[in-house]
Amino acid sequence: MMVMIFVLVLTGFMTNVEAAYPVSTDPMRVKQTYLDMIRVDQAWAAAGDSRSPIVVAVVDTGVDLGHPDLVGSLVEGVNLLQPGKKPYDDNGHGTNVAGLIAATINNDKGIAGIAPNAKIMPIKALEADGTGGEAKLGEGIKYAVDHGAKIVVLSLGLNKYSDYLAGVVQYAEDHNVLLVAAVGNESTSVKYPAAYSTVLAVGGVSPDKKADSRSNYGPELDIMAPWDVYTTALGGGYQYQDGSSMAAPQVAAAAALVLGKYPAMTAYQVRSQLEQTAQDLMAKGWDEKTGYGLLNIEKALTEPYKQDRFEPNESANQAASLPNHTAVRANLSSGQDQDWYAIDATYDGYIQLWVQPEESGQIRVNFDSGQSFVAGSGASDGQPFTVAVTKGRTYVQLENVDRTRKTALNYALRTDFVIYTDPFEDNDKQYKAFTLPARSQTIKGTFHQKGDLDWFALPLEHSGTMRVRLSTDTGRIDPMLLIQKEGEKATTIDQAGDGGMEVSSLMDVLPGQYYIRVSNMKDYTGPITGEYTLEIEYTPKLVDPNEPNDKSYQATFAAMNTGYEGLFSTNDDLDWFEFRLTSNSLAQVRLTNIPTSRIVYATLYNSSLQEQGTYRSDGSTELNFEKPLPEGTYYIKLQANQWFMSQMYRLQLNSYGLVSGYVDIAGHWAQSAITQLTEQGLISGYGNYHFAPNQSITRAEAATVISRALNLSKRKELQFSDMTTSHWAYADVAKAVQASIVDGYPDGTFDPDGKLTRMEMAQMLARSMNMTGKKRGNSPFSDVSESYWGVGILKQMSADGWISGFPDGTFHPEDRATRAEFVTLLAKVVNR
């Protein structure tokens, strides 16, 4: 297991006080233009009169211990490769790094280091060729922590995750030592150790303040610094260098200046201070290409530290961008405060969220998907909230459970992301191989768990030729490809490196079963956030297996959820298929793998061959349509505008039982109520044959449904600050307000998109029946106290048989009401 340092891939609280460090007069300062980008002169002027020495460990190839610009800035280090010997640099990379941090200022020699108060601890953990083992890297970090270093800079990295290094990184965090690492220079995923959430991950920008195209990026990226530098070199010299490994020590030096002025700061606070004072380069806040922006040391030394750097973020449109792999801290200033975050996912998968209140209190975590959790409740402490997400943006809202709280509630928040499980699982064994259709195709897969292997079976009925390609979109996958014909010797292809492409030769294939195994290098453990692409180029002697099917009476029977392939051998060729529906259903027809140069027509007929619809692909490679149909037998006729035999189209039919026009209420406990109100014209679904019975109902939806169900006519002009006349539900809400069925909040809002609670649902329906609530008698539910604001309503509705709660005797009044729950209770009211 080798660690490759980035030099091998290089292309060549706070107020201003009297300056402690003068402007540099070093003769080569003129070549250090990158210092102006990060405002070093201004930072020196703002550094104050504190010269607290800060030890910065450089875990690298060693340091030129006799360099005239470094000799005064060194403390004793260690040579881990040759114990007992000095950590001399035999590569040059470590010397490059050290000079950027602590080259002596104003000594009439060479350049100026960024942090005059920094002392370099040279730790030689890498060989002269820039390679090294994980064990030595971890040992180097631990040595630095145990021997007084406050900052460790790691201008090195590798693509694979390591449990061992993760433990060492946590050891540093536990001992309040800041780790700073380079992200890498391959235009791909952030390397480790920079990718660990408590390591300050540094990318590089060009002189025009744009991310260098080679700088790695992703959810782990934190901050940027200049890519091109002029620094100390072996033999007492100086040289130009570039890469993210040159950007990282600039950030480490900035951290040394901050710690020198504010020695009480923790490693987390220094990390946060550098991030929150960085100069935005793209969108405001964090983004995956430039992190929190360009290092600005002046601001890091002059702007007050913010305990909650994400404010203002009290609403969805103010949501703070948050990486899906990070650890931060913030607070809710009071019971009325709420914090919104926007988390982007590059793939479908699962967002994991750890929320830990730092003192007594509970925080409700609401996802825009409708899922809600409570942190600080005891049982869930330390456990992540896991929510399935699709590629794109997810919004998360944090709010106090105790809305009356007067004091701030600090919390720690950590995010992570787990990529989706590909649709071919479980196929980790050859006998579980996922069977692919015998044609040319491109599929995407994932390594969603540790040790994941993906086996595919390709049953070929015709001889021909085949070539297989395997590529990835991340450097964290070193792909391996195995191809085997059943009963014969396998061929393994592993020629490319991390993130490369493996390609087989053009093979002659005979009829039979072929196996393809896709895997990652053994030491590259999952789960991996990234996809591989498997391309199979298969050219057979194509034969339509369904012929003859040119007439309706020759139609090929098509079972549901099964794929059928065909082709058009002449311009007059017709392909007929028959299918049957055993109940009223939504029939879905999917035709794929159509050549882009062809148009395919599909005509739907009933059992009497009466046309039910005609559809066309219009030059697309797919033709998809759906249609609600009664029980019976149906036919589909396919025809192309011109023959094609170079590839086979694929036809698949699916059906979903329809109940009252919906595909998602059959067998649901609320089916009867939903059907009843739908048939009465009082409710409707979402226009895609879905009712979504288990989805939370919003306040605007509830008001609209009840207004229409009760046929309300009078309406009152609304004065809510968050609801104008252009709102889709304005008229119905106005009617419900006029009828005193609903009202707004004391702050003058209605919150139309807010989720209705079960108590609000009970109150609305009680008001519709002019119930005012009983005050006598005991609470009917174990989780509703006598002091609860809605206990009277619940007493009366329970006593009159309108509500019954849950089997365990609870009511969960503050839980969100579902559409099914609301409709069921409304049906009782309408038909009372």
373 and 298: one domain?
no
Residue 70 lies in a domain: yes
C-alpha span between 606 and 612 (Å, rounded):
7
C-alpha span between 489 and 468 (Å, rounded):
17
Q: Is residue 716 scored above 50 in pLDDT?
A: yes
Task: Write down the catalytic residue from 67, 93, 325, 448.
Answer: 93
The full DSSP string for 708-732 is HHTT---------TT--TTSTTHHH
160 and 250: one domain?
yes
Those residues whose C-beta lies under 8 Å from the C-beta of residue 294, and which sit 6 or more positions away, are 37, 38, 205, 209, 223, 224, 225, 278, 279, 281
C-alpha span between 115 and 686 (Å, rounded):
61
C-alpha span between 797 and 780 (Å, rounded):
10
Mean pLDDT on 185-207: 95
The per-residue pLDDT for 12 is 35
CATH code of the domain containing 587:
2.60.120.380
Mean pLDDT on 51-69: 93
Residue 531 lies in a domain: no
CA angle (11, 502, 193) in 5-degree steps: 50
734 and 763: one domain?
yes
Name residue, tokens 């609209």. Answer: 704
Mean pLDDT on 355-373: 91
The per-residue pLDDT for 10 is 40
The per-residue pLDDT for 186 is 92
Task: Report CA 12 to chain centroid distance, whole Å.
Answer: 35
The per-residue pLDDT for 2 is 34
Mean predicted lDDT score pLDDT of the chain: 91
Task: Write down the catalytic residue from 26, 41, 60, 573.
Answer: 60
The per-residue pLDDT for 17 is 35
Last residue in a domain, options 657, 682, 708: 657
Residue 310 lies in a domain: no
pLDDT tens digit sequence for 389-408: 999 999 999 999 999 999 99
Whether 245 is catalytic is yes
Those residues whose C-beta lies under 8 Å from the C-beta of residue 264, and which sit 6 or more positions away, are none
196 and 265: one domain?
yes
Mean pLDDT on 558-571: 92
Residue 663 lies in a domain: no
Domain count, the chain: 5
189 and 221: one domain?
yes
Which residue range(s) make up the domain with 693?
Answer: 671-830
Reading the block at residue 820, the tokens are 């099914």
Q: Cis peptide leading into 249, omega within 30 of 0?
A: no
pLDDT band, residue 6 (cuts 50/70/90):
very low
For residues 119 and 102, is the Cβ–Cβ distance under 8 A?
yes
Mean pLDDT on 237-249: 96
Mean pLDDT on 336-360: 92
Last residue in a domain, options 394, 419, 444: 419
Residue 200 lies in a domain: yes
Question: At 122, which amino acid appears?
Answer: P
The full DSSP string for 216-282 is -BSTT--EEEESEEEEEEGGGEEEEEESHHHHHHHHHHHHHHHHHH-TT--HHHHHHHHHHTSBPSS
Q: Is residue 94 scored above 70 in pLDDT?
A: yes
Which pTM does this prediction carry? Answer: 0.64
Q: Cis peptide leading into 122, omega within 30 of 0?
A: no
Indicate the helix (H) or strand (E) that contains 587: strand 585-592
C-alpha span between 532 and 424 (Å, rounded):
13
Residue 528 lies in a domain: no
Mean pLDDT on 793-810: 91
C-alpha span between 175 and 538 (Å, rounded):
57
C-alpha span between 550 and 544 (Å, rounded):
12
Whether 174 is catalytic is no
Task: Write down the catalytic residue from 245, 272, 655, 707.
Answer: 245
Of 378 and 696, the one with more pLDDT: 696
Those residues whose C-beta lies under 8 Å from the C-beta of residue 83, and which sit 6 or more positions away, are none
Phi and psi based region of residue 800 (left: phi greater than 0; alpha: psi -120 to 50; beta: remaining): alpha
pLDDT tens digit sequence for 116-171: 999 999 999 999 988 888 899 999 999 999 999 999 999 998 888 888 999 999 99
Residue 679 lies in a domain: yes
C-alpha span between 273 and 269 (Å, rounded):
6
Kindly report the three-state secondary structure assignment for every residue of 599-649: CEEEEEEECCCCEEEEEECCCCCCEEEEEEECCEEEEEEEEECCCEEEEEE
126 and 156: one domain?
yes
C-alpha span between 587 and 262 (Å, rounded):
68
Q: Is residue 8 scored above 70 in pLDDT?
A: no
Q: Is residue 51 scored above 70 in pLDDT?
A: no
Name residue, tokens 């040759």. Answer: 82
245 and 321: one domain?
no
109 and 86: one domain?
yes
The per-residue pLDDT for 570 is 87
Phi, psi of 361 (to 5 degrees): 155, 160
52 and 72: one domain?
yes
Q: What secondary structure letter does DSSP report for 691? A: -
The full DSSP string for 749-788 is ---TTSBPBHHHHHHHHHHHTT-----SS--SSTT--TTS
Those residues whose C-beta lies under 8 Å from the C-beta of residue 647, and which sit 6 or more positions away, are 439, 440, 542, 567, 593, 595
Q: Is residue 474 scored above 50 in pLDDT?
A: yes
- Count CB-CB contacts under 10 A for residue 28: 17
265 and 400: one domain?
no
Q: Is residue 246 scored above 80 in pLDDT?
A: yes
Mean pLDDT on 331-360: 92
* CA 637 vs CA 429, 614, 615: distances in Å: 40, 9, 10
C-alpha span between 363 and 377 (Å, rounded):
8
Q: Is residue 741 scored above 90 in pLDDT?
A: yes
232 and 87: one domain?
yes
Of 645 and 218, the one with more pLDDT: 218
The per-residue pLDDT for 762 is 92
Q: Is residue 4 scored above 60 in pLDDT?
A: no
CA-based torsion, 690, 694, 695, 697: positive or negative: positive
Last residue in a domain, options 366, 391, 419: 419
Burial classification of residue 727, based on how many CB atoms lie within 10 Å of its CB (0-12 exposed, 13-18 middle, 19 or more buried): middle
* CA 176 vs CA 115, 259, 307, 328: distances in Å: 20, 12, 18, 15
Q: How many contiguous H segments (helices) and E segments (strands) does the chain have?
A: 14, 39
The per-residue pLDDT for 498 is 80
Name residue, tokens 């196996």. Answer: 515
Identify the CA nearest to 370 among candidates 11, 701, 103: 701
Residue 311 lies in a domain: no
Q: Is residue 606 scored above 50 in pLDDT?
A: yes
Q: Is residue 423 scored above 80 in pLDDT?
A: yes
Name residue, tokens 């609530």. Answer: 773
pLDDT tens digit sequence for 525-557: 668 999 999 999 998 777 889 999 999 999 999
The per-residue pLDDT for 379 is 54
Given the DSSP bridges, would you call strands 151-154 and 118-124 parallel, antiparallel or unpaired? Answer: unpaired
Buried residues in 764-795 as b, exposed as e (16+ CB within 10 A):
bbbbbeebeebeeeebbbeebeeebebbbbbb
The per-residue pLDDT for 381 is 66
pLDDT band, residue 431 (cuts 50/70/90):
very high
487 and 362: one domain?
no
CATH code of the domain containing 292:
3.40.50.200
